[in-house]
Structures are given as C-alpha cells and as structure tokens.
Amino acid sequence: MKLLVVEDEPRIASFLAKGLRAHGYDIEWASTGREALQLGVEPGLALVILDLRLPDLDGLEVLASLRGSGATVPVLILSARGRVDDRVRGLDLGADDYLAKPFAFEELLARVRARLRPGPAAPGGLLRVGGICLDLQTRQVTAGGRKANLSAREFTLLRAFAEHPEQTLSRQELLSMAWGTYFDPQTNLVDVYVRYLRRKLGGPVIETVRGIGYRLRTDPR
C-alpha cells in the first residue's frame, strides 16, 4: 500500500518513512508543494501525509489544489500549526484528519490505519486474503479450501490480520483490535493465539516480524 509523505524537513521525513515501511507501507517522499501536486494524483496512492509549512507552497494550497483537481485520496495533515482555526480550515478544505506536531508515532499509525480501514465486506459478507476466506456472517473460515474451526477470539484476531494484509501489526495493536483494549504490553496473549491460528490454518501464513509483531502473508511460502 503506497503512502505519500509531504515533508520538507529530511530528518522528520526519514523518521516517518522508516517507521511506516517497518509496518508494511511503500513510501514516496515529496519535499515541496509542487512535487506533492505531481505525486498526489498518481494511481494507486492510498494516503497523503501532508505538512503545511513547505518551502514553495502552503500545505493548505496543496490540499485545495488536490481537491480542486478531483483527487479523492485521503489526506492526513501533520503540522506544527495546531490552532483550532488551522484545524478547522484544513478539514473544511477536504482533509480527512489533522494531527499536530509534536506527535506520538503510534497515534499517527493508528490514524493512518483508520483512514485505510477497508469499507464494507464484499457481497455475501466474504473477506478473502490469499488462500484464506472469512465469512463475516457465519464466522466460518476456509484456508486453502479446507475448513478451519476457529473460536470466537481466534476469528476476531484473524479478521484483524485479514483487514490489514501484508502490514506488520504490533502486539499492542492486535490486542486493541481483537480484545478491544490495551493489556499489559508484557502479556503473551497475542503470541498464544497466533500459535493457535498457525496450527489451525496450516503453513507459514502469519509471519513473525522480529521486534515489532506479526504480519499476514498473502503469498506464504
């Protein structure tokens, strides 16, 4: 999934790119407003993270131009200009979210995921990822054409993975998605349920990303 980071400060841009790539995103970087206008209309772009203080154009001008050209890509403004009137103007011009600097990376990541969250399931309530199919109505799962009998919690955890294929999810994110709250970060609850899923789904479907969390592979080898 491709994201565009529009940020003129190389240090911040590098920090964002490194963190987002670690979670499975492809990153393009624009350091000026004019670059952002060129890259912001590229096909396949999933989200724009937009700073407002750019060397050539104001970020709000960039946003207005993108929306004026018909671009519907979600835009998350990330700026030190955090006053209420700045936030209101940005949202009025078509931004989907606004996060003020300084920021916590985990909050930025959560907001990115929220904007990229899939829409309603396909007709019939089916969610297909690679060789896995989840029926969201009957809560039945097949993997490689074989039925997998999952518990309610296992199904919820697998759905969290399936809604973010090829994206690395931290244990705390998975706890929030599947259990609805943050537990003690030292708990091994996620690790235990990942083992359950691996055993029932068969094969290396869920990959461990050392030091970060887990990722659902769409082409497991």
* H/E element, 192: helix 189-201
Please answer whether residues 54 and 61 qualify as being in contact, where contact means their C-beta atoms are separated by less than 8 angstroms. Answer: no
pTM of the predicted model over 0.75 = no
- Residue 58 is given by DSSP the state B
Please answer whether residues 162 and 134 qualify as being in contact, where contact means their C-beta atoms are separated by less than 8 angstroms. Answer: yes
Cα Rg of the chain, angstroms: 19
How does pLDDT run across 38-84, given as a tens digit for each residue?
999 888 888 999 999 999 999 999 999 998 888 888 899 998 887 88
| 166 has pLDDT over 80 | yes
Which pLDDT value is given to residue 103? 87
Return the CATH class of domain 126-216.
mainly alpha
Owner of token pair 């809560």: 139
Question: Angle CA(175)–CA(4)–CA(54) in degrees, nearest 5?
Answer: 120
CATH: 3.40.50.2000, 3.40.50.2300, 3.90.1150.10, 3.30.479.10. Which one for 2-116? Answer: 3.40.50.2300
- End-to-end Cα, the chain, rounded Å: 21
What does the domain layout of the chain look like in residue ranges? 2-116, 126-216
CA distances from 45 to 73, 173, 209 (A): 7, 24, 25
